[in-house]
């Protein structure tokens, strides 16, 4: 089963980083967030990826063309016997097959999936965003998708609020205060599993996956939700970049399932 990763957005809310690189190449520790996402799937033995490129997509191509040198420690021998040793124990080996598909700078999320449909063999594939990590149990997610027999599964989470919540009583009395409580509603966290019939819901480059296609699938009874109660970290702002790097540096990153 192949994993499609949406890598084409412009990341306008974190220009401190995306002025210079596409969002999937923004680093968490030594490696871009894209590497972390791929390691999550590889842990569950899903190692074939299709990357939907757009904004600064050539940089992602360059990253994978130079992947061995960029992802491992090296010893370079100069002089009469020039050669390079790659120390693979310095980072988890990828052992990936990666298709790098230019899907256009202005193409929307559904349009990008439609453009790479020709690279998807088999009846089932996965899709996720190139800017979020989580400790989703991908094996359980796939089993859930196969159990319900519908076209699509979306992973949903209840993220914490960005702000503290206050319950107010008479006058100015604060009856309770909860710092960043978990929200009651569920939100789309990516980590989709789709049957090939989902492609029939996609219509051209202007198609936004999160708009008409998922709305129609829901109306048609073809969309099911996989509830994820664990960790989920989107990377939408520079503040979140700093937070993710702090978590990684602590040595206890919840998404490091490998």
Cα four-point dihedral sign 194, 196, 201, 204: positive
Instruction: List the one residue out of 189, 180, 62, 204 whose CA is nearest residue 127.
Output: 189
Q: What is the pLDDT of residue 163?
A: 55
All residues at 6 or more sequence positions from 100 whose CB lies less than 8 Å from its CB, including other chains: 51, 53, 57, 60, 61, 64
Give the dihedral sign, CA 211/214/220/221. negative
- What's residue 12's pLDDT? 86
At residue 156 the predicted structure's pLDDT band, cuts being 50, 70 and 90, is very high
Confidence of residue 177 (pLDDT cuts 50, 70, 90): low
- pLDDT, position 93: 63
pLDDT at 164 over 90: no
Q: Is pLDDT above 60 for 221?
A: yes
**Between 153 and 90, residue with greater pLDDT:** 153
Domain annotation for the chain: domains and CATH numbers: 3-157+185-249 (3.90.550.10)
Residue of 10 and 199 predicted with greater confidence: 199
pLDDT of residue 172: 66
| Cβ atoms of 208 and 109 closer than 8 Å | yes
In this predicted structure, what is the pLDDT of residue 183? 58
Average pLDDT, the chain: 91
pTM of the model: 0.89
Confidence band of 94 (pLDDT split at 50, 70, 90): low
The pLDDT value given to residue 178 = 56
Is 18 a residue whose pLDDT tops 80?
yes
Q: Is the dihedral of CA 193, 59, 117, 48 positive or negative?
A: negative
Residue with tokens 């050669």: 83
Span 12-19, average pLDDT: 89
pLDDT at residue 151 tops 80? yes
Residue 89: predicted pLDDT:
73
């Amino acid at each position: 089963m192949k994993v499609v990763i949406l890598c084409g957005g412009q990341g306008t809310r974190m220009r401190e980083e995306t002025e210079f690189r596409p969002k999937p190449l923004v680093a968490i520790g030594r490696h871009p967030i894209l590497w972390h996402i791929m390691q999550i799937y590889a842990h569950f033995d899903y190692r074939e990826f299709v990357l939907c490129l757009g904004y600064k997509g050539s940089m992602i191509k360059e990253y994978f063309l130079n992947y061995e040198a960029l992802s491992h420690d090296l010893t370079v021998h100069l002089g009469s016997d020039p050669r390079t040793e790659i120390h693979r124990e310095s980072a988890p080996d990828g052992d990936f097959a990666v298709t790098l598909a230019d899907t256009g700078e202005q193409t929307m999320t559904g349009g990008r999936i439609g453009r790479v449909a020709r690279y998807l063999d088999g009846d089932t594939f996965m899709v996720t965003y190139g800017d979020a990590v989580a400790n989703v149990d991908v094996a359980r997610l796939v089993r859930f998708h196969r159990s319900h027999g519908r076209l699509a599964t979306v992973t949903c989470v209840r993220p914490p609020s960005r702000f503290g919540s206050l319950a107010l009583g008479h006058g100015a009395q604060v009856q309770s205060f909860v710092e960043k409580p978990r929200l009651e509603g569920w939100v789309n966290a990516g980590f989709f599993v789709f049957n090939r019939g989902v492609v029939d819901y996609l219509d051209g480059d202007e198609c936004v996956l999160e708009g008409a296609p998922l709305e129609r699938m829901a109306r048609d009874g073809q969309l099911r939700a996989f509830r994820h109660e664990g960790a989920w970290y989107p990377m939408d702002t520079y503040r979140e970049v700093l937070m993710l790097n702090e978590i990684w540096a602590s040595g206890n990153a919840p998404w490091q399932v490998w």
